Structure 1
C-alpha cells in the first residue's frame, strides 16, 4: 500500500513539475519556448502513464490521457479527460488541472503579447529587437519604413543588412557586449535624416538581447530652429525702434532741436517709434493667444461683402494717403458662420498688406466667390508680386521677403491671418496673379466648424 501511494505521489509531482515548467517558459512569449513546454507536458504525462500501467489502471483512461497529451503537445490547449473513479482518478484529475492552468497561462501571455504588439505597431519611433550577435528578431512598422525593408527580409538576418549603416550596427554590438545602454545622434541615409538612436540591453529576454529605438529628430530640429529665429526676430524688431527713440531723445537732450518746429518733428518721430513698439507688442500678444486657443470664437452669420466693406472703411484714410483705391465687391448675399471680430481682422490685415505693396495710383481688388460648401475671399494688389522663393514662407512670423525689406510693419499680420483662418477650419494661400501683383485667397466653410474653448484664458 505504501508503495502504491509513493508511486501516485511521484506521478502527481511529475505533472505539477510539468505545469511549473510551462508557466516559467510561457513567460518568455517565444514560440520555441511554448513548443518546448508542451513537449515537457507530454513527457510528464507519458511517464505517469507508464507507472500507472504497472498498477493496472483501466486501459480506456490511459488511452484517453495519451491521446489528449498528444493533442496538447501539438498546441491544442483545450484538452480535458473525463474523470473516472478508482485508481485512474488522480491521473485524470491531475491532467485536467494542469491543462486548465496551462490554458490560463497561455491566454494571459497571448493577451500581453497582443498589447505589446499594439504598442510597437502604433509607435512612430522605429523599434528593433536584436539577438546578441546583432541578428534581427523583430522590428515594428516604423522601422520597416525607415529602413525601406520588409519583415520577412529583415528578421533572422544580420542588422547591417537592413540598416545599411555601420554606425548603428556598431552601436547595437557594443551594447550587446557591454550590457549597458547607450544613446547616440546620427545622420541616417542618403537624406542625412537626424536620428536619436537609443540601444538598451534586454535582460532575461530569451533570444532578445538589445532593443534599439530610433526617433526622427527632423521636426524637433525644425521647431527648435523656428524658436531661435523667433527670438532673434523679436530682439531685432524691438531693438530697432528702441535705438531710434534713444537717438532722438539724446539729440533733444544735446540741444539738437533749435526751433519749436524741429522739436515737434523730433517728438513726432519718437511717437512714431513708440506706436511701432506698441503695435508689435499687441500683435505678439494677440498671436500668442490665437495660437494657444485662448481667444473664444463666437459664431454668427456674416455677409462677406459687408465684412470687406467695413475693413476697407477702417483703412480708407491710410489708402488715400498712399494714393491707393480699394475696390470692394457688391453685396451678393454670400454669408458664412464665423467670429465677426476675428474675421474682420483677417480682411483688414489682407487689405493693409495690399496697401503696403501697392504703387501710388494702384488699385486693390477684393472679391468673394461662392464655392458651394466653402466661401472664398480674395484680395489682389497691383504691386511687384512675391518672389517664388518667398511664397512658401509669407505666413511665417516676422518673415520679410526681398521686396518687403524696405516696408514698415511688424511682420506678424499674415501670421495672424493664417491662425485665425485655421481656427475657423479654413485655408489661406498666396500666389502671383497672372495680370501682376499678389493675390491672397481665404477659403472658409459656410458652416462654423471652429473649436470653441471651454473657457476664456
Structure 2
C-alpha cells in the first residue's frame, strides 16, 4: 500500500470516529434550544478535522520538530473551532428568531392575536410561514362559517316554532269549535273542515321541507341523473303553482326553449323550481306577474333557468344572505291569508336554502339580483 493511500485511510478512520460522536450529541440536544444544535454542527466538523490531522501525524512517527508543527496546527484548529462556533451561533440567530416567531404564530392560529413571520431567512421557513398564514385564513373562515351556521340554526328554530304554532292553533281552535257544537249548519261545518285541511297541508309542507333539508345536510341526498328538457320542468312546475297564483290574481308566464337540456334529477330540479315559483308568488303583489325563462349559456356549457317576480326588490345587504338557512329578512307573517284552500305553503325560511342545496348537488349555482321592480333568481345547471 502506498504512503499516500495509508495517509488517506488513517485520516478517514480518525475523522469518521470523531464525526460519529456527533450523532449521540445531536440526540442529547434534541430538546435544547436551536442555537445549541447550531453550535454542535459547527464544532463536530472541526473536531473531526483535528482528530484526523492528529491521528495521521501520530501514525507517521513525526520528528520533534514536526510534532511542534503539529501542535501549532492543532492550536490553529482549536481557535478556528471557537471562531466557527461563535460565528455559526451569531449568524444563525435570525433562524432561531424566525423559528420562535413561527412557534408563537402556530400557537395563535385562528385567533385574533395571530401574527405571522414577516421576514424569515430561509426558503423553507418562508414556505412554512406562508403555510401558517393560509391555515390561519382557513381557520378564521371556518369559524365564521360555523358561527353563521349556528346563528342560522337558531333563527330557523325560532321561525319554525313560530310557524308551527299558527296552523296548530288554527286546527285546535277549529276542532274545538266543531267538538263543542258551536257551529251547526252544514255550510259552516264544511268550511271549518276545509280550514283544518289547509292548516294540515301547511304542516305537511313544513315537515317535507325539514326532511329534505336534513337529507341535504346529512349527505344522504341521492340524485337520479338523466337528460331532461328544461321546458318540460317549467311547464310541470307552473301547473303545480298556477292554482296558488290564480288565488292571488297573479299571472304565471313561461318562455322556455325546448332545445335546452340538462343532466339532472327531474324530480329534485322540479322541486327547486316549484320552491322558487312559490316564493315569487308569495312576495308578488296581487294582480302581479311572475315570469319563468330558460336559455342556453354556450360559453360555459350551462343551461340557465330564471324566475322573475315583482316583489319590489330586496335590500342590497340582504341579497347575499337570501339563501342562508332560516333567513327571511322580514317579520314572520301567516302565509296565504284568508281561508282559501290554495293557501301558500309555509317555508319556515328554508325554501331557498333547499333550492341552493339541490342546485349545488347538481354541480350548478343559483344567484339573485334586483331586476325591474322585483327579484330575478337565476339557476345555472350543467347542459346536456
Q: TM-score range by the shorter chain?
A: 0.5 to 0.7
Work out the CA distance in 2 between the residues paired with 1:250 and 1:231. Answer: 28
2:374 aligned residue: 437
Q: Select 2:305's aligned residue among 377, 398, 401.
A: 377
* Number of the residue aligned with 2:323: 395
The counterpart of 2:285, out of the listed 333, 337, 359, is 359
1:365–1:380 Cα contact (<8 Å) kept: yes
TM-score of the two chains, using structure 1 as the length reference: 0.58
* 1:30 partnered with 2:65: no
- Residues 309 and 424 (structure 1), Cα distance of their counterparts in 2 relative to 1, 3 Å cut: same
Question: 1: CA distance between counterparts of 2:110 and 2:161?
Answer: 41
With over 3 angstroms needed to count, the CA separation of the structure-2 counterparts of 1:216 and 1:360, relative to structure 1, is: closer
Q: Aligned with 2:287: secondary structure?
A: coil
| 8 Å Cα contact 1:430-1:440 kept in structure 2 | yes
Structure 1's 217 and 392: CA in aligned 2 closer, same or farther, altered over 3 A?
closer
Question: What pairs up with 1:294-443 in 2 under 5 angstroms?
Answer: 294-372=220-298, 373-402=301-330, 405=333, 407-408=335-336, 409-411=346-348, 412-434=350-372, 436-443=373-380
Change (3 A) 1:349 1:214: closer
The corresponding residue for 1:286 is 212
| 1:376, distance to aligned residue in structure 2 (A) | 1.1
Query: Counterparts in 2 of 1:238-253, with a 5 A limit?
Result: 238-253=164-179
| Residues matched between the structures, number | 318
What SS does structure 2 have at the residue aligned with 1:281?
Answer: helix
Q: Deviations over 1:12-45 (max 9, x none)?
A: 9977655432442367583651432441453366
Offset from partner CA, 1:44-65 (integer Å, 9 cap, x none): 6635754664454589xxx9xx
SS of the counterpart of 2:316?
A: coil
**Aligned to 2:158, which of 205, 220, 232?**
232
> 2:215 and 2:105 mapped to 1: Cα distance?
42
Equivalent of 2:119 in 152, 163, 174: 152
| Structure with more helix by fraction | 2
Task: Decide whether the 8 Å contact of 2:228 with 2:261 is kept in 1.
Answer: yes
CA drift at 1:281:
0.6
Q: How many angstroms does 1:319 deviate by?
A: 2.5
Which residue of structure 1 aligns with residue 198 of structure 2? 272
State the 1:271 CA deviation. 1.9
C-alpha distance in 2, partners of 1:53/1:222?
76
Change (3 A) 1:261 1:144: closer
* Residues 363, 381 of structure 2: 8 Å contact kept: yes
Where structure 1 has 5 or more consecutive residues not aligned to the other structure, the ranges are 1-9, 75-127, 156-194, 196-212, 448-457
| In 1, Cα distance between equivalents of 2:328 and 2:289 | 23
* Distance in 1 of aligned mates of 2:102 and 2:361: 46
2:89 is matched with none
More strand by share: 1
How big is each residue's C-alpha offset from its partner over 1:192-235, in whole Å with a ceiling of 9 and x where there is no partner? xxx9xxxxxxxxxxxxxxxxx99984333323222222222332
Q: CA deviation at 1:138?
A: 6.0
Q: TM-score, normalised by structure 2?
A: 0.68
- Deviations 1:119-168, CA, capped at 9 Å, x for gaps: xxxxxxxxx975xxxx776645968997566432899xxxxxxxxxxxxx
How far 1:421 sits from its partner (Å)? 0.8
Cα RMSD after superposing both structures: 4.2
Partner of 2:25: 21
5+ residue gaps, structure 2, are 1-13, 64-69, 83-97, 123-135, 337-345
* Bigger shift: residues 370-379 or 15-24: 15-24
Task: Classify the secondary structure of the residue corresponding to 2:29.
Answer: helix
- Alignment pair present for 1:220 and 2:157: no
Counting only pairs closer than 5 Å after superposition, residues 202-221 of structure 1 correspond to structure 2 as 217-221=143-147
Q: 1:56 to 1:138 in 2, by over 3 A?
A: farther
